[in-house]
């Protein structure tokens, strides 16, 4: 089998309510859908988050295309090395979502060529369903309380809330409201996205711990691991690394510093599914659990991750997902996308060959059109956020 073309379609899908983090807001997400065509008539699917922008992803895909067209898509290790080393992309982190989308499409092609689901290539089903957290948008306390109730009703085990974008009093008010709405059994994971200084982080987390936290995610800079370890040593709540653990080499550094109790791993930030499995293995060797991170994904990327997470024991906590925020998806059937597709916060491993998902042409056309007309509303490129977030750390 040979690759004949790499096709890319950016799409924009709206949220129910704005996603707000320490450095901006967006009203939906943009993903680039990738279709890898072959001379045997099979097409593999991949998806790249628009990170840092759809234009960067599209540019990276155009650069990668001559490296992969004509190649055997089932020589996946060779293909990703060609992109990284021959294509000299290995020093450029921004290329990773594009490379990961092509790599994922090759796993889809492998599965379609032999009639097996991708989970079978990564160790087989360790679990039949993959659990996700319920993403609670950081809005007014009353809205946060209502969303906590919705999460509990939907059967979620953990709610996720961004902190660090506003004053500590506001964060405390939101976490208190979330506990009130979601009830005593709900895990609450807070993510500061590096917004705090070490001293501020310790003070803030101790106040938030009054309401019971499951984990605190990246409270301080991801680039100062001794300080991350210092903060971890002074908190009772387990610390989840994220911005400090994008790649395998980053994860190794976090482990060497004893800087986290759990690590986020992400197939889009480190070249694809094979490296996602390797990331989990590195952390498993250190005795630590991992959580699947998401830059904001639709059904293709979610399905890809579900296959690997289902096959890997140390994904023991609810993973990052956008089901509570998204209004729709681009794949056929009830997979990914809105919360209605989840059962108790869980998605089943797709049974079909490859990734086991298909694009819905009508929805792809609709959301590609929305990208063409309104892309600016769906990115974090909000100039007003600069005034609210002048520097790292914020305080
Ligand atoms: Mg995070």
Interval between CA 269 and ligand 1 midpoint (Å): 13
Q: Are residues 202 and 300 in the same domain?
A: yes
Specify if 395 maps to a domain. no
CB atoms within 10 A of CB 376: 10
Q: Are residues 182 and 257 in the same domain?
A: yes
Specify if 156 maps to a domain. yes
Please state the rounded mean pLDDT for residues 233-245: 97
CATH number at residue 328: 3.20.20.120
Cβ atoms of 363 and 330 closer than 8 Å: yes
Specify if 91 maps to a domain. yes
Question: pTM of the full predicted structure?
Answer: 0.96
Interval between CA 367 and ligand 1 midpoint (Å): 26
Interval between CA 193 and ligand 1 midpoint (Å): 6
Model confidence pLDDT, tens digit, residues 207-223:
999 999 999 999 999 99
Specify if 17 maps to a domain. yes
Q: Are residues 136 and 275 in the same domain?
A: yes
Q: Could you give the number of structural domains in the chain?
A: 2
DSSP state letter for 238: P
Cβ atoms of 113 and 74 closer than 8 Å: yes
Interval between CA 259 and ligand 1 midpoint (Å): 15
Interval between CA 388 and ligand 1 midpoint (Å): 19
Q: Are residues 187 and 323 in the same domain?
A: yes
Specify if 393 maps to a domain. no
Model confidence pLDDT, tens digit, residues 336-373:
999 999 999 999 999 999 999 999 999 999 999 999 99
3-state helix, strand, coil in the chain (%, to 5): 40, 20, 40
Boundaries of domain holding 182: 120-348
Interval between CA 218 and ligand 1 midpoint (Å): 7
Interval between CA 320 and ligand 1 midpoint (Å): 9
Q: Six-digit token pair at 155?
A: 């059967």
Specify if 380 maps to a domain. no
Interval between CA 73 and ligand 1 midpoint (Å): 32
Interval between CA 109 and ligand 1 midpoint (Å): 31
Residue by residue, DSSP assigns 100-112 as HHHHHHHHHHHHH
Specify if 385 maps to a domain. no
Q: Are residues 103 and 203 in the same domain?
A: no
Q: Are residues 61 and 174 in the same domain?
A: no
Q: Are residues 96 and 128 in the same domain?
A: no
pLDDT value at 395 more than 70: no
CATH number at residue 70: 3.30.390.10
Cβ atoms of 172 and 163 closer than 8 Å: no
CA distances from 36 to 2, 173, 228, 314, 346 (A): 10, 48, 41, 31, 29
Q: Are residues 306 and 179 in the same domain?
A: yes
φ, ψ (nearest 5 deg) of residue 96: -65, -45
Q: Are residues 248 and 131 in the same domain?
A: yes
Interval between CA 268 and ligand 1 midpoint (Å): 14
Q: Which residue do the tokens 């892309």 mark?
A: 375
Specify if 307 maps to a domain. yes
pLDDT score for 390:
42
Model confidence pLDDT, tens digit, residues 110-162:
999 999 999 999 999 999 999 999 999 988 999 999 999 999 999 999 999 99
Q: Are residues 96 and 207 in the same domain?
A: no
Q: Are residues 99 and 148 in the same domain?
A: no
Residue 151, SS3 per DSSP: helix
Interval between CA 368 and ligand 1 midpoint (Å): 27
Interval between CA 181 and ligand 1 midpoint (Å): 23
Q: Are residues 90 and 161 in the same domain?
A: no
Model confidence pLDDT, tens digit, residues 308-333:
999 999 999 999 999 999 999 999 99
**Average per-residue pLDDT for the chain:** 94
Model confidence pLDDT, tens digit, residues 48-105:
999 989 999 999 999 999 999 999 999 999 999 999 888 887 767 778 999 999 999 9
């Amino acid at each position: 089998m040979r690759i004949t073309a790499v096709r890319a379609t950016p799409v924009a899908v709206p949220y129910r309510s704005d996603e707000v983090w320490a450095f901006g807001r967006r009203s939906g997400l943009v993903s680039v859908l990738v279709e890898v065509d072959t001379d045997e008539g099979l097409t593999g699917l991949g998806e790249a988050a628009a990170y840092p922008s759809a234009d960067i992803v599209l540019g990276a895909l155009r650069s990668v295309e001559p490296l992969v067209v004509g190649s055997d898509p089932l020589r996946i290790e060779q293909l990703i090395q060609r992109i990284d080393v021959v294509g000299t992309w290995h020093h450029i982190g921004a290329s990773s979502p594009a490379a990961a989308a092509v790599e994922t499409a090759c796993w889809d092609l492998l599965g379609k060529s032999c009639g097996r689901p991708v989970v079978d290539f990564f160790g087989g089903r360790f679990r039949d369903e993959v659990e996700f957290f319920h993403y609670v948008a950081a809005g007014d306390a009353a809205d946060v309380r209502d969303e906590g109730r919705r999460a509990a009703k939907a059967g979620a085990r953990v709610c996720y809330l961004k902190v660090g974008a506003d004053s500590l009093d506001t964060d405390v008010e939101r976490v208190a409201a979330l506990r009130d709405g979601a009830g005593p059994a709900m895990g609450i994971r807070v993510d500061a996205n590096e917004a705090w200084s070490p001293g501020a982080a310790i003070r803030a987390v101790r106040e938030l711990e009054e309401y019971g936290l499951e984990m605190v995610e990246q409270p301080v800079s991801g680039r100062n691991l001794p300080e991350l370890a210092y903060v971890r040593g002074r908190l009772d709540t387990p610390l989840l690394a994220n911005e400090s653990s994008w790649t395998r080499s980053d994860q190794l550094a976090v482990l060497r510093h004893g800087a986290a109790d759990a690590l986020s791993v992400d197939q889009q930030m480190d070249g694809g599914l094979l490296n996602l499995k390797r990331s989990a293995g590195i952390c498993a060797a250190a005795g630590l659990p991992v959580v699947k991170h998401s830059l904001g994904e639709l059904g293709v990327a979610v399905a890809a991750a579900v296959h690997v997470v289902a096959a890997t024991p140390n994904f023991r906590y609810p993973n990052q997902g956008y089901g509570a925020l998204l209004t729709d998806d681009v794949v056929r059937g009830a997979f990914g996308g809105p919360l209605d597709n989840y059962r108790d916060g869980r998605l089943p491993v797709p049974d079909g060959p490859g990734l086991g998902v298909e694009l819905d042409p009508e929805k792809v056309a609709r959301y590609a059109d929305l990208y063409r007309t309104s892309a600016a509303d769906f990115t974090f490129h909000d100039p007003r956020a600069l005034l609210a977030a002048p520097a790292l750390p914020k305080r």
